Amino acid sequence: MSMLSLKGSGFTVHGSGFKSDFPVSLYPIPYTLILSCLLFLCAFSLPALAYDKNELAELNDMYKNGKYQEALDGYLKMTQSESENPYTFYNAGNAYFRLNRPGFAVLYYAKAFKLLPRDPDMRANLDYALKQTGQALVPDGVPKALHYVYYLLSDLELKALAIIFFWLACFAGALRALAGEKLKEELKTAPYATAAACLFFLLWIGVRDSSPFTNGAVAAAPATLLSGPGEKFKANATLPEARLVKILDEGDEEYYEIGLPGEGIKGWVKKTDLQKI
């Protein structure tokens, strides 16, 4: 395990571009359109890298020299200006872990994982931090390979692919409707294939709605789980620090209704006691 390895200047940096190697069989559709679609996807999937590399190098040096709080302050500032860059959240998670603040370590590892779930270091560190608090990234009974495929793409990438194939289906259908007989025959399956791909990614998005990282939150400190939205309701349990929960209802002004993944337990927690992923 590459526990607590930093991302950025002077350290191992993993590429995060989405690569597609499937052959394109729709000959009548211009290759420039396919390329444009892939570039559109990359615009969604690539993290923002417009950071000050010198500043990041200084922060990483602070971290290496044990100045975790100073490094953390800088990493947090970077997360505010680069909210789509998973590496800034990952580095902040490392600093929180070193500062023995497991709640915020899990929170920031989860934020990084949600943006780039297939990165091996982000998966490993999130799983390690969860296990330190009696949890696990991969639920019991779920094969690791299946879990990896389930989280192969981020939510943003899935939405981008659904949009791409929706417009490809529209384009293929319109082109077939306007084409001559020969071209119609060549495009016979194109609208259905692209529409099926769009439906596939929409279904994947729907299945991912059950993920604890979709509308999830973390108890940054121990929190009381109530039977209803208010102090007058009975306290059922105490959520330990770093507990991962799923927000079920946030309509109340002061309380979230939450569920505990894998346990079937529901309750209400003060919004100020949870940090949304």
Distance, in Å, from the CA atom of 68 to the CA atom of 88, rounded to the nearest integer, reads 14
Q: Is residue 127 a contact partner of residue 120, using CB atoms and an 8 Å limit?
A: no
Residue-wise pLDDT for 101-149, tens only, equals 999 999 999 999 999 999 999 999 999 999 999 999 999 999 999 999 9
What is the tens place of the pLDDT at every residue in 62-85? Answer: 999 999 999 999 999 999 988 888
Using alpha carbons, select from 260, 257, 259, 256 the residue that is nearest to residue 272. Answer: 256
pLDDT tens per residue across span 195-233? 999 999 999 999 999 999 999 999 989 999 999 999 999
Quick: pLDDT tens for 241-250: 999 999 999 9
Nearest to 22 by CA among 193, 253, 212, 258: 193
3-state secondary structure of 84: coil
Distance of CA 87 to the CA centre of its chain: 12
Query: Which letter, b or e, does each residue of 81-107 get, where b requires 16 or more Cβ atoms within 10 Å of its Cβ?
Result: ebeebbbbbbbbbbbbbbeebbbbbbb
In angstroms, the CA 134 to CA 130 distance is: 6
Residue 110 CB neighbours (<10 A):
25
For the chain, percent of residues with pLDDT exceeding 90: 68
